[in-house]
A and B are shown apart, each in its own frame.
Chain A
């Protein structure tokens, strides 16, 4: 188990900067997610940490050791791809034994370690199957077992749940979190899925165009984003004008709706444009005066407003976060 530290890591392809002066510090046992839209440089960053690529400048430390110029083999990293990258010609057990064999661990000990790892991801009994005989979720579990069986210093996950359908993804998110907690392994996850990032991570790092936008705990980044990009990338953002001329962020679930006129001083009249039923919540798209639109998310308590209805929207001033 180790910590990870990036210092001014930059990767350029010609004049294009895939990563620019990125600093990051992940403490031992922490679960950090690198979040960003596609093309933001998050996978580049992961491949630099994994040693599949060399940075143009900057340094990378794992467990205090400078691994900037170390090969992937020398870094002792567990790596999981979105495409699973299981060896198709080996059985499940042979796949999990592979990193042990490379480390000259064989015989009964290797067998025990591999079976333990498979038990951990609830795949015991499928040892002799081939990857092609497994479902996507099972394959990703094999990949996880293979990535942790040799007790890597850190675990790197590249969109590991991206290829799975929604229900399976949510199940595996829970399992992934439990696994990470059980093993206590320092984990770096790369994803473009903000829900996944918010639900799994101790901290998230938001990346755009190769540059760090914010590194913070999920709630912190959600409620107090460092800039407009982070505000818009993490969930739905309403922007309201502030007296000092700046813009203020109000999250939809902080917007209140009422039908009985101005109940408080900041109330504004609005018209329901669209009502989207989401289960526990209803999401309303509203039009304020002056063509400004706003989104509100309100707990569903049996009745809902209908499009065309006139309402009053309001929020507490404490729920406004000024952004630049």
Chain B
């Protein structure tokens, strides 16, 4: 309680906090838990390496990140890990559970960012899309109504085993336009899913599954993360009706002030468009700078979730709705899975 009031007070007094930020001792090494794989590599190359060159601060990465792990960290009272990667919906849950600190945006003093990335409780560092993709040679759907129409578009499907992905896509298939998806009509979504479930061979849990299953010809159509399929000639894809979402990095509750000071330095590096361009070389996800497009290779703009042509045809994740309804929907999801 005391700490929170202190942080709040510091945030309300930017001048003081900047002063104290420079004066306060600053750790030479902090730890971060992120989701691993190529996105972890992109954090390393885009932000951690430049930070080390400029300041000598080391950031040690671990993976994977899950809300359960964060809860275990905080409840055990440890302070060794400062930064934690969370999905957009998870940031709200973590905030509710008191697992993350408020961001000290004044101390970070970031370069210009999209407003949704500058969250009170997290730094939105990476836009990613969940889109439809298919094995090259399969008939190409234009939208999710066609994607789920197995008569006109024969083949097995591979869908995420997560309700917050599947439900909005099912609603699109039922004819709901992308700007009217939320609040979700859960019953209609499950009704549509019940119609199409016979065509779904695999419900995936790991992002690596759908591209592999399409390559093995186990399935012909997938809903998957854009970064896993763009640029691979074996697949066709479309951003139409896709879900744009944002990954956040947050500060673990109870972190030491000197670790937080070092973390703020990293957040600053993460706000710089030139660093975000470096990260985008590793994975085709994009950072939150409005000036980033200009720094990306022109011929690859179509691959990125936030490029103008793609951002317009996608809907944006509604984390608030999921924070409210997630648990109830999950029970229905388990019931649905039992009916497979």
When A and B assemble into the complex, do they touch directly, with CB atoms less than 8 Å apart? no
* Interface residues in chain B, defined as those with a beta carbon under 8 Å from any beta carbon in chain A: none
